Chain A
């Protein structure tokens, strides 16, 4: 049973560019959350999707947007990249009905130069 799959694993972009990160949730999971993790810090919540809608959002600017597809997979888009957007981006999936527990992917390491 595949867990959470994220692509790409690494990415280098130039300041001002746009990026799209992808996530396939664990089988049986219907909820996808995105987190940003800077080096040496804990993950910071970006937003959560279920039923193809953004349900909750953290303190991130509108440059960060997302989408969830009917098959529960999700995309994270970041526009007008800043150097400070360099981080590990983690996708976590869960099932709203339980049992408790989020399954995280290994993340996409984004470097903005």
Chain B
């Protein structure tokens, strides 16, 4: 079967650093992607790890360990606008752009002043 686990909620204060973990059990995946979704809005692509290790994009970094079936999203210098839901999604194809994305229930991040 396939399963994804993320914490349901995380709360942090402005300026802080927060890490959102993702563990998965899914066959035939080639990488791990992360999406952000503000309430009622469109999911927005944040990052993609096609290889093990850390990928950095501005204030956001993402990590993947295939051997541990584990990844995380690291958000630094938190801002109020970072309050949103965050989803990890295993990528099912080598090109990354075909096949279905499997989303878990996501992590709701609340940033407080």
Q: Is A111 in contact with chain B by the CB < 8 A criterion?
A: no
Interface residues on A, range: 20 to 34
Cβ–Cβ < 8 Å partners of A33 in chain B? 100-101
Cβ–Cβ < 8 Å partners of B106 in chain A? 42
Q: Is A14 in contact with chain B by the CB < 8 A criterion?
A: no
Q: Is B103 in contact with chain A by the CB < 8 A criterion?
A: yes
Cβ–Cβ < 8 Å partners of B98 in chain A? 31, 48, 50, 55-56, 94, 96
Cα–Cα distance between A26 and B103 once the two chains are bound (Å): 22
Question: Known: A100-B48, A104-B43, A105-B42. Contact between A40 and B105, CB under 8 A?
Answer: yes
Q: Give min CB distance, B94 to chain A, whole Å.
A: 10
Question: Known: A105-B42, A106-B41. Contact between A100 and B96, CB under 8 A?
Answer: yes
Which has the most chain A C-beta neighbours within 10 Å: B33, B50, B99, B105? B99
Cα–Cα distance between A5 and B61 once the two chains are bound (Å): 29
Cα–Cα distance between A43 and B89 once the two chains are bound (Å): 10
Cβ–Cβ < 8 Å partners of A103 in chain B? 45
Return 11 A-B CB contacts under 8 Å, by A number.
Answer: A31-B97, A43-B43, A48-B98, A48-B99, A88-B40, A100-B48, A100-B96, A101-B33, A101-B96, A104-B43, A104-B44
B interface residues, Cβ below 8 angstroms from A: 31, 33, 35, 40-45, 48, 50, 87, 91, 95-106
Nearest 3 pairs of A and B residues by beta carbon: A42-B103, A100-B96, A45-B100
